Amino acid sequence: MNKKSLLAACLTLTLCVTASLQWAKSSETAAAQEEIQIVIEGEPLALSTPAFIENGSTLVPVREIAEALGADVTYDEMQDGERTVRLKRGEREAVLTIGSSVMTVGSKKVTLAAEPRTVQSVTMVPLRAISESLGTVVTWDGIKRIVAIDEPLQLPAIGSEKKLAELLRELADRNSYSYLAREGGAVTETQASADKGAAAPEAATAADGSDYGGSADAGDDYSKTNVQVEGVDEADWVKTDGDYIYQISGSRVMIADISDPAKPRLAAELEYAKEEGFQPHQLYIDDARLIVIGTKQIYDAPAVPMEGEAADSGGAAERPAADGAAAASGASADIAVSGKMAILPYFHKSMVKTYVYDLGNEGKPALVRQLEQEGSYLSSRKIGEALYIVTNKYSYNYGIYDLPAGKSDLETARELASSFEPLYRDTAVSDEPQTVKLSDIRYFPEPADSSMMMVGAVDLGDSEGTLQVSAYFGAGGTIYASQKNLYAAQSVFTEDGSTYKQETKLHKFRLDNGSITYISEGSVPGALLNQFSMDEHEGYFRVALTNGNMWATGEAGSTNNVYVLNEKMETVGKLEGLAPGERIYSVRFMGDRAYMVTFRNVDPLFAIDLGNPAKPEVLGQLKIPGYSDYLHPYDENHLIGFGKETIELPSKGMGPDETMAFYQGMKIALFDVTDVTKPKELFKEIIGDRGTHSELLSDHKALLFSKEKGLLAFPVELHEIKNKEQLADGSFPAYGEFTYQGAYIYGIDLTKGFQLRGRISHLSDEDLRKSGQYGYDYAKTVRRILYAGDTLYTLSDAMLKANRMDSLEERGSLAYPADPESGNGYGYGQKPMPIDIMPSVTAE
């Protein structure tokens, strides 16, 4: 065969293969089109051009979908030949360009997973993106292959003082506590008050699926905070942008210039007025700004007459102004509450305050904005330039007592509403605090308690963006966030005969560039461990819980379970009955797999397949001594576990064959899950003896890990037993004495495992000599390790230290000036409490 014939044959074969692949792809697409059903407000929608899936997005005919949603559709021809589609529904407007992955919603740009395109003269657009831009909620049921489009769920609003009193009384009947009278009390409306709950907006404004995260970003030559979900930043005690280190020290924020690691210098020190009472706790940074989140306290005079004061049954006591501003307005009706017993509220407010600084002048932040919302700090997330802060406004009480004679009408619902309505402030709008009114406070069905969860949301990149605060009565707890949704989990106890059973209520909110929308509620039996017990992946929410008491027997005993919920928060799959008599110590979801550690005497590591959401199943397990408090991905087939080593000893007072496990030193382990049916422990390292602890075991942000650099680092408080040979076999495990605190620096790879490269401490030899058996200068506790360029930095409240990354040779250090407002000079008044959440292995 000559070259021309060969070339022609190859070309023909290529064309045939290409045509076959295109046919196969189109057949696959056609099959997908036939399977996808669109349902709008419960009614199926027949499309003239079938929907198809591309890059995880369902593309649909724009005009048919838009008009079905009641939106207007217009086309614009641009001078450069581009064609745009404009959608308008009420006050919402979205503009798409054919062939472009960028959609404009209002004044914001949104990146699309799939570009709009023309197919046989029909414009096809991503369904979820356009539907949500028009204010609807889109959910995908991958099992039934149904896309549902609905209006946002409107939770009922409290609306009136009467409804508030009813809700509190219902709580009192269920939980035996309330602001209101408990025995013989009657709620009577003495003045009509309109209930405005039905039409209340979702949020009051201050104006008139997932990838696992990590601690090092391959795109930058500096480390970032170790987060749970990639693209979802979490606030921490220290941050760096590679040029500066931003760190909280006591009541101040220190900004260190690290451009010369040999001579780090203090570029700025942010202090807060003593009268402000502000205590910074966590930070965010990005290219444009520094964000400092902290708390402050406000003390109110009682709204209820105390003993010796004149009771005024006809109206509310004036609430003093917050920070010199006008007091929150009272309600419009008097509702007298009478009875023998009552609970007085605790007249104290916690406020979460956020300072936003511009970083345009390098090393010299300029304050540009302040945000405040009432409550205790629960959690926060930053996604792009959108900031979300979650607080809980708790109901503090003095307790139940007998009312003094003549004081049966101590409190009116107006007074109650005045102290109940939460405050918030955005100085971009006004220096005066605003109030979330009863008409804007939503409540969940059968709220578990009288606390209120508040979610503040703001797009800091939008010059016109203002703080939006949504308040939800009866919610709050553990927070998980993906790039698109936020979940709030709340534990609820219900009476079940002579015992109580626990369930976890899950509330889902959509996040959208600084705004939130409530989506739905679900519930599962049992209790969560922490945020890593939850995960969102490809439209499904997965959650792992322990149900029951690990020390009980029979039906009351514990089991560990995994549930899969769809986008409507309906349970579609479950795996129950794992490790009876144990409880969960750590969980890590990674794509279609979950890894779960339970413990009582030994550590079973379960590998769970979640590829079929309807049928999760255990693929394999590994039983070894010890347990892991935290699991971190090394890669898709390997995990690093951080926890404690344990030993088993005979248990006195139990059966003759019964044993009990006791924790020992800190343990790190490298697991191989390449063959998920047979997980293996490749390497392990034991650090110290009983009493050794690391902040990493209770806070994942204390970990520095870079697979590319083969780097693993975390803080350790080392306790060691000096005369181990004197310990009798089988005797009660002894605690070690404090001998060291600092950063442990390891090399890590799959061939050699863990290689201890060195340790870095901020304690001098003199500090160690002065330390006691269990204590030391806690201001010099190394809490975080990070890197920038070729330098490793260790951080404590008292100082910063720079070491070469290759040799760990010290390059320079910076001691921070003492904080005159703190007891020990740095605000680190006490040692961080170790959280050894291990009741099964403590002897006392």
Of residues 268 and 2, which shows the higher confidence score? 268
Whether the Cβ atoms of residue 269 and residue 817 lie closer than 8 Å to each other: yes
Domains and CATH numbers, the chain: 36-150 (3.30.457.10), 161-208+225-305+315-453 (no CATH)
CA distances from 285 to 172, 577, 724, 794, 816 (A): 44, 44, 48, 19, 21
Distance CA 328, CA 415 (A): 11
pLDDT of residue 211: 60
- Position 86 confidence tier, pLDDT thresholds 50, 70, 90: very high
End-to-end Cα separation, the chain, in angstroms: 88
- Position 654 confidence tier, pLDDT thresholds 50, 70, 90: low
The mean per-residue pLDDT over the stretch 553-566 comes to: 87
Least confident of 381-390, 793-802, 830-839: 830-839
pLDDT of residue 402: 37
Whether the Cβ atoms of residue 671 and residue 638 lie closer than 8 Å to each other: yes
Element holding 72 (H helix, E strand): strand 72-77
Distance CA 53, CA 25 (A): 11
How many CA atoms does the CB half-sphere of 527 hold within 13 Å? 16
Distance CA 585, CA 603 (A): 9
786: exposed, middle or buried (Cβ count in 10 Å: 0-12, 13-18, 19+):
buried
Of residues 515 and 210, which shows the higher confidence score? 515
Of residues 551 and 594, which shows the higher confidence score? 594
pLDDT of residue 604: 85
Amino acid at 347: F
User: For 304-314, what is each residue's pLDDT tens digit?
Assistant: 433 333 434 33
Residue keyed to tokens 């657009």: 125
- Position 826 confidence tier, pLDDT thresholds 50, 70, 90: low
The mean per-residue pLDDT over the stretch 580-601 comes to: 92
The mean per-residue pLDDT over the stretch 58-68 comes to: 93
- Position 262 confidence tier, pLDDT thresholds 50, 70, 90: very high
Whether the Cβ atoms of residue 669 and residue 641 lie closer than 8 Å to each other: yes
Residue keyed to tokens 């609970």: 343
pLDDT higher than 70, residue 160? yes
pLDDT higher than 50, residue 403? no
Decide the pairing of beta strands 571-578 and 559-565: antiparallel
Claim: this prediction has a pTM higher than 0.95: no
Angle between helices 161-175 and 413-420 (to 10 degrees): 90
Decide the pairing of beta strands 441-443 and 468-473: parallel
At 322, is the secondary structure helix, strand, or coil? helix
Element holding 21 (H helix, E strand): helix 3-35
What sign results for the dihedral spanned by CA atoms 31, 36, 37, 38?
Answer: negative
pLDDT of residue 240: 97
Structure-token pair, residue 744: 């442990």
Distance CA 609, CA 132 (A): 31
pLDDT of residue 804: 97
Element holding 131 (H helix, E strand): helix 127-133
Of residues 743 and 160, which shows the higher confidence score? 743
The mean per-residue pLDDT over the stretch 538-548 comes to: 94
